[in-house]
A and B are shown apart, each in its own frame.
Chain A
C-alpha cells in the first residue's frame, strides 16, 4: 500500500521519480513504476481524506447539502490550492464596447471572447474523483484529422500503436463495455479482446430511443446519418466477464476504506460529482493497490521544477500548508530530488508550472492549443414516462456523427443520451418544483397569482419530470494556438503562485459543429415524437453563458471538463512540447503527462486515452531509469551501484 507522509517529512528526500499530481495519470505511473521496483514520490497539492471511508462519506454529505450540484460540489474550496469551478462564471449583458459577455471570479483569470467553462479539482484523486467514468476509445481517424480532413493537428502515433495500452488501461481502470459494438465502431481492432466486465445495463431511456433505430437524420451542415443507439464503455463496476484475459476473468475492485463494498453499480445516479459506493473507478483504488515504494504527500503545492546542469532537471520545490478549505495556512518551502520529474497535474496546471519554471518552452507552444469538448444541450418532453434520474449519467449514445465524411466541413460530435433528465440544462427537478409552485415572484418582485398546490402539483410534476429527455452533444474542438493559458506576475493566488490566465473562444469549425448538432437534435426529437424544449435565447436581454449566434440561430455551449492540448505532443521540437512518450523535447528527464499532451481529442471522453498514454510513458520512463542506473554503474563502479536501494 502507498505510504502516506506529510510534505515536511519528505523534505530533502531523493526518489527515482517524483510525480506532481495524484490524479489518474500520476497514480497510474506511480503504481506502474513502483511495480518495476522504482521509488516514487507522489506530491498532491490538494487535501486528502477521501481515502478513508469516513472522509469519503463527508464528501458525499457535502454534495447532498449543496444547492448547485456541480462537479466540484462534493469538495470544499481550498484557498491555498484553489480549483476552478463552473460556479465562478456569470453572464453579462453586452455593453457594445467589446467587453466579453461574461464575468469570471475565482481561480481562473479569463480574458477570451468566450468563457472556458471547464473545471477540475485539486484534491487527492484530482478530476478522477468527479468524472463520469465514460471511457470510449478514440477512433483511428481521430489521430490524423489534419491529413484526412484538413483541420487540427495529427498525432505522431496511431490508434494501432495505442491498442495494447488501451487494453492495459481498461484493466487498470476496470472497464465494462460491449466489445462487439465497439469493434463495429472501429475503435477496438484486436479480434480476441473483450472488456474486463460486461456492459453496464442500458437504461429505459436508451430503450425509448432505440425505437428510432434506422431513422435517417440530417445535421445542420447537410451530413446525413442513419441512427443506431450504441452502449457506452464505462469505468464502473458491472458483471465481470469470465472470458476476459484468456478466460482468467476479472475481479472488480470496490471501495477504498470499506472492504467488499462498491463492487457493483447500484444506481445512485450521481456519478458526477460522487459515487456514494465507489462503484465508479477512481485513482484512490490505484493508490490503495500500489506497493510501499510509493510515498504520497498531500497538501504539498509544487511551486516550480528545479533545473540542474545542462538540460536536466533536478527535482521540484513545493510548499506545504496546514488546515483545510478557507482556513488553510501556508507553511514552509521544501525541495525533493529525483532522477525523473513527471508533471501529472491537470493540462492547465502542467502548463502553468512549466511556464512558471521557465522550462520546456523552446517551441513557444506551452499553454497553447487549449481544448475542451464544447457541449451543447438539447432537451424535450417525451410522449411517455421514460424513467429519468436513474442509473449512470449516460449509458448509450448516437455515435454516427463522430466519424467519416463531413468532418472536413464541421467538427464531429457525439450525442450522449442523458439518463438524468433536464438537470444540466434547467436545474431540474428542483426547478420544476419552483416553477410549478410559482415561488420566487415575477419580474416585478411580486408574488405570483398562478401556481399549483396539493394533488395537482404532485401529479403534474410526476407526469412531466418523468418524461424529461436530454441530449448532451460533445463537439470536437481542434488544437488552435489562439486558445491558451498564460501567467502574469501580478495575477497570483493566496500562496503567491501564478493563476492560470485563460484566453478562449470557439472558432469556426467548432461553431459549425455545434450548429450541426443542434439541428440533428431537432430531427431526433421529431422522430421520437417528443416536444422540443431546447432554448438558447437570451433571457431578459442577457445571453446565457456560452451563447453565440450561428447564422442567426441562438446556440450555447457548456464545458465538458476535458481540458487538453497545453503541452502538445509532436515529432518536431520546433512546434511541440513533448514527444510521443510525453517526454519534453527540451529536457531529457522531464515528462509532462496527461490530456495536455494530446494533439486532438476526437469526440471521446479523454481519460482512457490519457491513461493509455501514461502506461506507454511508464515503459519509457522505466527504460530511462535503467539507462541512468547503467550510467551510474559505469561511472561510480559496481560497489556504489549495489548500495542503491
Chain B
C-alpha cells in the first residue's frame, strides 16, 4: 500500500461507514486523492481535519445524523454526495456561512472522470449514463436485486449494534424515512437543490 498516501488511505477508511461502500470499492474509483483535496478546498484544510478527527471517534461503526453536530453533519453529507455523484453539492446556508462565506455556494462537478466514478450507479447495479456501456441489448436483461442492508453492512465490515431485528422491518423503516426528489421546476436547478417529493394532493386539499 506504499503507493497510497497515508492521508488518502485514512480518508477512504473513514468514508466506508459514511458511504456504505467498502474500502476496495472506494479505492477502485481512483478518486480518493481528488475528493480529499476537493473537500479540504471547500471546507478549509484545518476545519476538514477537525471533521475527520470527530469522525475517527466513531470508526468502524454506523453513523447516524444525530451523532454529528450540524456543520459536521453537512460536511459528511457533502463528502458522501461527492462519492456518489462526483459533484460537490450546494450546502445548507448556515453551514456554508460558517465554512466558506466568501465562496459561492453552488453545485459543481469535480471533473469528467469523477462523474463517471459516481457510486450512485452501483447502488442499483447500473452504469454511469454516458460511460462504461454494458453492451448491445443488455438493457433487456432483468436487473439484479440490490444487496440488503445486512449484506452491505457485513461487506463494509461495520458493527451492527444499532441494527438488530428482521431486515424486512428495518428496510420498511428506512423507506419510511427516505425522501424522494420532487419536481425539477426548471432545467437549471442543480440536483442538490431539487425540492423533496410531496404527498399527492388529496380531495379537498387547499390549492
Contacts and interface: CB of A to CB of B under 8 A. Distances in A.
Interface of A: 60-70, 86-87, 89-91, 201-204, 207, 238, 264-270, 274, 276-277, 381, 385-392, 395, 419-420, 422-442, 445-466, 532-533, 535-537, 539-540, 542, 544-545, 552, 556
Nearest to B199: A535
B41 to A, nearest CB: 17
A461 B149 CA distance: 11
A231 B194 CA distance: 33
Interface string B1-38: 00000000000000001111100000000000000000
B47 interface: no
A203 B140 contact: yes
A558 to B, nearest CB: 8
A387 B139 contact: yes
Contacts of A441: 74, 91-95
B85 to A, nearest CB: 5
A430 B187 contact: no
A430 B87 contact: yes
A413 B66 CA distance: 49
21 contacts: A68-B190, A269-B139, A270-B130, A430-B87, A430-B118, A430-B191, A432-B120, A434-B193, A435-B179, A435-B180, A440-B89, A441-B74, A447-B74, A451-B77, A454-B63, A454-B156, A455-B20, A459-B123, A459-B174, A463-B146, A463-B175
Contact of A425 (B95, B184, B190): B184
B12 to A, nearest CB: 14
A265 B124 contact: no
Contact of A447 (B94, B178, B192): B94
B78 to A, nearest CB: 6
Contact of B120 (A67, A465, A544): A465
Interface string B69-90: 0110110111011001101011
A390 B198 contact: no
Given A89-B186, A440-B90, 9 more contacts: A68-B190, A203-B139, A428-B191, A431-B181, A432-B120, A434-B192, A439-B81, A461-B124, A545-B186
Contacts of A448: 65, 92
Contacts of A430: 85, 87, 118, 120, 191-192
Contacts of A447: 70-71, 73-74, 92, 94-95
B109 A439 contact: no
Given A265-B136, A454-B17, A439 B121 contact: no
Given A67-B190, A435-B196, A535-B198, A461 B131 contact: no
Nearest to B154: A455
Contact of A462 (B95, B124, B193): B124
Lowest 4 A-B CB distances belong to which pairs?
Answer: A441-B92, A391-B139, A462-B146, A445-B93
B52 interface: no
A91 B185 contact: yes
Given A453-B18, A544-B185, A267 B136 contact: yes
Most buried by A among B70, B90, B123, B148: B123
Contacts of B129: 69, 268-270, 389, 420, 423
Contacts of B123: 458-459, 461-462, 465-466
B136 A264 contact: yes
B146 A535 contact: no
Contacts of A419: 139
A395 B90 CA distance: 35
Given A455-B158, A462-B125, A427 B181 contact: yes
Nearest to B138: A267
Contacts of B182: 426, 535, 539
